[in-house]
Homo-oligomer: A and B are copies of this chain.
Amino acid sequence: MGVAANINDTSQASPLERLAALVEDDMKAANQAIIERMHSPVSLIPQLAGHIIASGGKRLRPMLTLASARLCGYGAGPDEQRHVLLSACIEFIHTATLLHDDVVDESDLRRGSASANAIWGNKASVLVGDFLFTRSFELMVGDGDLEVLRILSKGSSVLAEGEVLQLVTANDTDTTEAAYLEVIEAKTAELFAAAAELGPAIAKRPKEEQTAMRAYGQNLGIAFQLIDDVLDFSAKQETMGKAVGDDFREGKITLPIVLAFARGTGEEREFWRRTLEDLDQNDDDLARAMELLTKHNALSDTVDRARHYGKLATDAMAVFPDSPIKAAMVDVVDFVVDRAY
């Protein structure tokens, strides 16, 4: 996992590391379940899926399921393992979409390593992604709770719809802030929301707590995506194995771009259209883009928007009594937003 060098020394740990430490045993069990359940006699499947799953993701989404279950008092009993298998299910859905995203984006890199499609080809990535989708459905059917099935099937469907919506709005500089939010609510925040909602659902807690956890996950997911968008233009990005300006070079329309375009002059809009719609870019264009983003406060305002959603996530936690895990989940929100600095 690599989220903490020494997971027991929490004095210098980030909020994410502290949350990881609180669900450490569950996460070990989840990682074990992920490896076991992606097994197939067709060896390409565990090879390819193992490559992407092992490539150093933060396991943020499955961690949300584990943390929300513990927050709601589920997971301590000897037979209480449903959150572990469901967090594996969440990771499979996420991994399937990463595999298909990389095919759609024609990415050669994923978290600084060669992407699965770069190694095994697009065909393998499409079909192994499909396998992980179907395996995730087998896992949730194995859980057998119709409420859980409703959350996850709806979540997967909204996510898939969001991916198509992103495709049809790609490279369109006329995208509004509202339209962009609609995309990221579906393609990113919905899976965060579903992952968090699972905890109170399996703990059979009142509907109010399920709604609260869903709001926490959804707003955290929006904040997370907005900060990811900002990081693409930040030197901090390089420490995460991604090059600065990857989104820009692919012509991706993210909130910083939406803001700078809306606030830009006619000449500036021509620049954005040439570079992002026509993908006609030269060596100086990334520097020029950074200049315009700074001029219009597009990056700092995107962080402010993220902070707004972060506050909604934090407020949603109010219905839960104080506990170490609640405190860590609240702190994770600030941590996600403060990643930008």
Contact = CB atoms under 8 A, between A and B. Distances in A.
A168 B44 contact: yes
A43 B150 CA distance: 24
Contacts of A45: 161, 164
Nearest to A131: B160
Interface string A121-156: 011101111110111011011001010011001101
Counting chain B CB atoms within 10 Å of each CB, which of A104, A137, A140 scores highest?
A137
Contacts of A129: 130
Contacts of A159: 134
Copy count, this protein chain: 2
Interface residues of A, number: 42
A172 to B, nearest CB: 13
B123 A104 contact: yes
B157 A137 contact: yes
Interface string A220-236: 00000000000000000
Given A141-B149, A164-B124, A168-B44, A131 B157 contact: yes
A255 to B, nearest CB: 20
Given A104-B123, A127-B100, A146-B144, A156 B137 contact: yes
Contacts of A141: 146, 149-150, 153
B130 A163 contact: yes
Contact of A42 (B122, B144, B153, B168): B168
25 contacts: A40-B161, A42-B165, A43-B168, A45-B161, A45-B164, A100-B126, A100-B127, A103-B123, A103-B126, A104-B127, A123-B167, A127-B160, A127-B164, A129-B130, A131-B160, A134-B153, A135-B157, A137-B153, A137-B157, A138-B157, A140-B153, A141-B146, A141-B149, A141-B153, A144-B146
Interface of A: 40, 42-45, 96-97, 100, 103-104, 122-124, 126-131, 133-135, 137-138, 140-141, 144, 146, 149-150, 153-154, 156-157, 159-161, 163-165, 167-168
